[in-house]
Amino acid sequence: MPIKYFPETISLAKWGEITGNIDEQNDLINELNSKAPILHISDVDNPHNVTKSQIGLANVSNDAQLKRTSNDFNSFDEKINTDYNDIVLIEDSRNDYEKKKVKISAIGGESTGINYWLNVNANVSGSNSFYFDGTKDQSYEIIDNLFICESSNGSIIRRGIIKSTNYNNGLISVDCISDSLLTQGDKNFKIAHFIKSQNFSFYITIPGELVADTDHRQGSFYFASYDSFLLVVDAKLITAATGSPSVSWNLYKNTTALFSTAPDFGTNTSLLNLIPNINAIQAGDLISVKILTSSGTTKAADLKVQFILIPSFLLFKI
């Protein structure tokens, strides 16, 4: 039906009969385009002040989201040395690939390509102790782990074993044994996660009655198959002697004594946490023990020497 005119309540413009296509009515199009509905539709300044809560986005934060484009991880800054409390995101394959966070300290093994050694911001509290911030679980996890640090001027590298820990209100206190005593100002503490000293524990035993022999090795031997670092030595007389025995002995690398002063049991049946004067072991070295003296009303029997031999390649990963 032909349109004669628009009511004056809508517009003061009047038209006669409209013929042809609507896109040919330029004057009508211009008039309609200038009206409020068209302007309102094109207004992107939120004229009604709609909030995100009103459209169901109340819990969405106005933060940048992690990029998902291919190979974009190379655009992020790289951290060379990981810290104990660093976290990474994973998809849990045992729980429908639900996304979870994992502490870097829980990721181990050379195949991961992750550094064995994790930084800890530690302070020395004694010649055989230090402390750092951490959790109660971490205080349990690091017992028997290897650690390493530097002297204040960086001239000395200290290597050791965490023997025990104590947790109190966010602070982990560590008692340790190391190849040289800790001093105030020691820095760059690192703990080797998942690397326990007992994983590198070896034994030499001399069964039966001890006989002093300065010329010949006794008992079993250990043949070093890789370059190593001899960290700490324990010795024990399995069968105690009566009277006042004096059993001295020494550990040898080939023909070289590793202790400048031969350890002596005296009246004891065990010697713990002995630090050798020579600790560099090369592949092919033969480690052995000799009994130097043995006295007492009854000779002791069954000497057991335990030593921690750390592969050098672990120390290259710090």
What tokens were used for 236?
Answer: 């024990």
Position 214 scores a pLDDT of 56
Position 65 scores a pLDDT of 66
Residue 3 clears pLDDT 90, i.e. is over it: no
CATH 2.60.120.340 placement within the chain? 199-315
Q: Which pLDDT tens digit goes with each residue over 232-283?
A: 999 987 765 544 556 788 899 998 999 999 998 877 888 999 999 999 999 9
d(CA 245, CA 270): 12
Answer with the residue of higher pLDDT: 198 or 315.
198
What tokens were used for 302?
Answer: 């069954």
**C-beta separation of 298 from 240 below 8 A:** no
Mean pLDDT over 24-34 rounds to 68
Position 175 confidence tier, pLDDT thresholds 50, 70, 90: very high
Residue 249: exposed, middle, or buried by beta-carbon count in 10 A (0-12, 13-18, 19+)?
Answer: buried
Mean pLDDT over 308-318 rounds to 75
* Per-residue buried b or exposed e for 216-243, using 16+ beta carbons within 10 Å of the residue's own CB: ebbbeebebeeebbbbbbbbbbeebbee
The domain defined by 199-315 folds into Jelly Rolls (2.60.120)
d(CA 233, CA 201): 10
d(CA 67, CA 69): 6
Q: What does 118-149 look like in DSSP terms, one character per residue?
A: EE---EEEETTEEEEE--HHHHHHTTTEEEEE
> Can you give the pTM of this predicted structure?
0.63
